[in-house]
Chains A and B, each alone.
Chain A
Amino acid sequence: GDSVTQMEGPVTLSEEAFLTINCTYTATGYPSLFWYVQYPGEGLQLLLKATKADDKGSNKGFEATYRKETTSFHLEKGSVQVSDSAVYFCALSSGGTSYGKLTFGQGTILTVHP
């Protein structure tokens, strides 16, 4: 079945540091890939997405590229801010008749210090 593996957290960085959160997946067919972010006390918000190989999703300075050859969708940001502190989830959707069912990774807690 489908699965998503994220790097273990928590990740602690200083402000303006470079961020990478690794995500690899296993899926049948050609899934769509997503990064969601959850701020304290809130639900999940879609951060970015990519629907086919070599697509790059980007939003708010975050980027991730759909790499079919390595089955990866790593999240990057060049300079993090304290306000980026949150939990980040990688997810995939296999499409077809799955009605958009999302398979999530376990989440990575990011803490950014001033």
Chain B
Amino acid sequence: ETGVTQTPRHLVMGMTNKKSLKCEQHLGHNAMYWYKQSAKKPLELMFVYSLEERVENNSVPSRFSPECPNSSHLFLHLHTLQPEDSALYLCASSQELAGAYEQYFGPGTRLTVT
């Protein structure tokens, strides 16, 4: 595997379910990100992890719970979601180089909440 991988690629869940999204980066990067991409809205940054520590949480509802057990893996735990949470969830990773970061994205998980 190369780059950034995400599983599953598609997920349908009911509002009372609990599920997790997984992201794995094979690039040796030290920062990872979760984004939400909804139709007709700009990409929204949800969480940032740097060196496995959460450094940013952009007012995301508590029904989304991130976890970063090591620098290569990032999870997004989901519970009691709402239909408006249906979206494409993108994971990205990056490495600081000379003060600049270049983010590499995974293919995303298409989430549908019914």
A93 close to B100 (CB less than 8 A):
yes
The reply to whether the CB of B64 lies closer than 8 angstroms to some CB of chain A is: no
> Which residues from chain A sit less than 8 Å from chain B, CB to CB?
32, 34, 36, 41-46, 49, 51, 89, 93, 95-96, 99-102, 104-107
Instruction: Select A102's contact among B41, B50, B55, B103, beta carbons within 8 Å.
Output: B103
Given A43-B90, A105-B42, A107-B42, A100 and B101 touching (CB < 8 A)? yes
Residue of B nearest to A104 (CB): B43
- Interchain pairs with CB closer than 8 A, number: 60
**Cα separation A57 to B92 with both chains bound (whole Å):** 21
User: Shortest CB–CB separation between residue A9 and chain B, in angstroms?
Assistant: 11
**Cα separation A42 to B108 with both chains bound (whole Å):** 7
Instruction: Select B107's contact among A43, A101, A104, beta carbons within 8 Å.
Output: A43
**Cα separation A80 to B106 with both chains bound (whole Å):** 26
B50 close to A99 (CB less than 8 A):
yes
A93 close to B101 (CB less than 8 A):
yes
Supplied contacts A49-B102, A99-B55, 10 more A-B pairs, CB within 8 Å: A43-B90, A43-B106, A43-B107, A44-B43, A46-B102, A46-B103, A93-B100, A93-B101, A95-B99, A99-B48
The interface residues of chain B, by DSSP majority, are classed as: strand
Given A42-B107, A43-B105, A43-B107, A104 and B42 touching (CB < 8 A)? yes
B100 surroundings in chain A (CB, below 8 A): 32, 51, 93, 95, 100
A99 close to B31 (CB less than 8 A):
yes
User: How many chain B residues have a CB neighbour from A under 8 Å?
Assistant: 27
B107 close to A100 (CB less than 8 A):
no
Question: Which residues in window 76-109 of B have CB below 8 A to A?
Answer: 90, 92, 94, 96, 98-108
B90 close to A44 (CB less than 8 A):
yes
**Cα separation A43 to B99 with both chains bound (whole Å):** 25
B99 close to A101 (CB less than 8 A):
no
The reply to whether the CB of B113 lies closer than 8 angstroms to some CB of chain A is: no
Kindly name the residue among A32, A43, A93, A105 whose own CB sees the greatest number of chain B CB atoms within 10 A.
Answer: A43
A44 close to B105 (CB less than 8 A):
yes
User: Shortest CB–CB separation between residue A5 and chain B, in angstroms?
Assistant: 10
A46 close to B31 (CB less than 8 A):
no
